[in-house]
């Protein structure tokens, strides 16, 4: 007998029929003799609908009130699932994030979990109940309701698994596991039997939407065994753990990609030791996330600086830079949008030189222009034109023999 945390996303609980399917999954786990804690998201597009309602009233609603509004989505799901389990004869109790003891920092809209007091959950588990917890939400020390931002329900599930010392955390989604790349765009994409925390963290940060990076970080830090599984099909998924088995010694395990990237370039920066720190501190103070950075000296003793951002942050980035032009000491700004980022990821890169060279060779042979490059021990990323993104993904997936037909 063990303790299993199950997490079901919005698609998996999108309507009554699917909630009843989730109840079947929970019942099956319970019948195997396990204690079960279930974390759920809001049903389907509920969160989007709530956001749209708020926009009809205010163009800039209070972040506190948005948290009050959005958390009602998960509360609907937990109550309905508890009712569905009761109809099956299972004793279940639903908890909001704050009832479950999830304490967060005092930030509305994107709070981080500080600690979890599992006392209330453990008490119900000891009484044989299934505990259903609303994902995506918590409470500050002074009683303010908060939300955890995008992917928050994944983070809730893994954090609870850590606090409860669960034997396993299953993340149920609308896909059957983690694939070598997105199977919606590359038909030969193959499901991985397992993958390491580090590889999954890179893929999640680089655009793979199966798991949120913060959830993977929690799992790595607390050694939580994760499995990404389908909520609709009864089959094994992808196990995420410390050391994954290297399938046929594949150097590259996956190809990730994301669109809507913009390259911002500051021209004629004063040559100063503190200039870079001033620029990126100023951007960080406005919560603007900068990715790839390239600096180059010019003949006139000035510096040009390029960095990539999400296109959605462009207007705010330009506003911040222009309003601080005297402080930052640059001559002018250029921005190039309609770009994307394509990345290869694999632990095998550490001991296999020449992987980056092979990637650049493949892109060049497909007439794909590389705008920027970033590397780490287990990944190489290239910024390319958005129109070339899927061609780049397909060509790299083929070149590194990741497809099902190539195994």
Annotate 27-57 with DSSP letters as a single string: HHHHHTT-EEEEEE--STTHHHHHHHHHHHH
Q: pLDDT 10s digit of each residue in the chain, 407 long?
A: 799 999 999 999 999 999 999 999 999 999 999 999 999 999 999 999 999 999 999 998 999 999 999 999 999 999 999 999 999 999 999 999 999 999 999 999 999 999 999 999 999 999 999 999 999 999 999 999 999 988 899 999 999 999 999 999 999 998 899 999 999 999 999 999 999 999 999 999 898 888 888 899 999 999 999 999 999 888 999 999 887 665 556 789 999 999 999 999 999 988 777 788 899 999 999 889 999 999 988 777 788 999 999 999 999 999 999 999 988 889 999 999 999 999 999 988 888 889 999 999 999 999 999 999 999 999 999 999 999 999 999 999 999 999 865 44
- Closest to 359 measured CA to CA, from 328, 392, 334: 392
pLDDT of residue 390: 97
Fold entry, domain 3-174: Carbamate kinase (3.40.1160)
How deeply is 382 buried, as exposed, middle or buried, from its count of CB atoms within 10 A (0-12, 13-18, 19+)?
A: buried
pLDDT of residue 246: 55
CATH top-level class for 255-406? alpha beta
> b/e per residue, 65-78, with b = 16+ CB within 10 A?
ebbebbbebbbebb
Domain ranges of the chain: 3-174, 255-406
Structure tokens at 21: 């399917």
How many C-alpha atoms does 333 have within 13 Å on its Cβ side? 19
Q: How far is it, in rounded angstroms, from Cα 37 to Cα 350?
A: 38
pLDDT of residue 248: 52
pLDDT of residue 329: 85
Count of residues in the chain? 407
User: Phi then psi for 99, rounded to 5 degrees?
Assistant: -65, -30
Q: How far is it, in rounded angstroms, from Cα 377 to Cα 341?
A: 18
Domains 3-174 and 255-406 share a fold: no
pLDDT of residue 280: 93
How deeply is 184 buried, as exposed, middle or buried, from its count of CB atoms within 10 A (0-12, 13-18, 19+)?
A: exposed
pLDDT of residue 244: 63
């Amino acid at each position: 007998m063990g303790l299993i945390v199950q997490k079901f996303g919005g698609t998996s609980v999108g309507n009554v029929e699917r909630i009843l399917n989730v109840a079947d999954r929970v019942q099956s786990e319970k019948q195997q003799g396990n204690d079960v804690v279930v974390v759920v998201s809001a049903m389907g597009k509920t969160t989007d609908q709530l956001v749209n309602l708020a926009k009809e009233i205010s163009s800039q609603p209070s972040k506190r009130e948005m948290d009050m509004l959005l958390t009602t989505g998960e509360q609907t799901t937990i109550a309905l699932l508890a009712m569905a389990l009761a109809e099956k004869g299972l004793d279940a109790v639903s908890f909001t994030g704050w009832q479950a003891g999830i304490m967060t920092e005092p930030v509305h809209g994107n709070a981080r979990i500080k600690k979890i007091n599992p006392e209330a959950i453990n008490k119900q588990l000891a009484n044989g109940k299934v505990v259903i917890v609303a994902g995506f939400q918590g409470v500050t020390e002074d009683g303010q309701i908060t939300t955890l931002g995008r992917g928050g329900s994944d983070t809730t599930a893994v954090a609870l698994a850590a606090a409860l010392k669960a034997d396993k955390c299953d993340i149920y989604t609308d896909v059957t596991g983690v694939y070598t790349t997105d199977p919606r765009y590359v038909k030969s994409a193959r499901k991985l039997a397992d993958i390491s925390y580090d590889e999954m963290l890179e893929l999640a940060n680089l655009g793979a939407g199966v798991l949120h990076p913060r959830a993977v970080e929690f799992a790595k830090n607390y050694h939580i065994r994760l499995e990404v599984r389908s909520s609709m099909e009864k089959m094994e998924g992808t196990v995420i753990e410390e050391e994954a088995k290297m399938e046929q010694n594949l150097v590259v395990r996956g190809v990730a990609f994301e669109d809507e990237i913009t390259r911002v370039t500051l021209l004629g920066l004063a040559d100063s030791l503190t200039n870079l720190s001033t620029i990126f501190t100023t951007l960080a103070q406005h919560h603007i996330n900068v990715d790839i950075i390239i600096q180059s000296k010019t003949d006139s003793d000035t510096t040009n600086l390029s960095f990539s951002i999400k296109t959605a942050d462009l207007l705010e980035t330009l506003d911040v830079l222009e309003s601080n032009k005297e402080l930052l000491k640059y001559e002018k700004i250029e921005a190039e949008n309609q770009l994307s980022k394509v990345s290869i990821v694999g632990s095998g890169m550490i001991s296999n030189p020449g992987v980056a060279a092979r990637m650049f060779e493949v892109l060049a042979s497909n007439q794909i222009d590389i705008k920027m490059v970033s590397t780490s021990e287990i990944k190489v990323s290239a910024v390319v034109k958005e129109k070339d993104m899927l061609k780049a993904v397909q060509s790299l997936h083929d070149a590194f023999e990741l497809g099902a037909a190539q195994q």
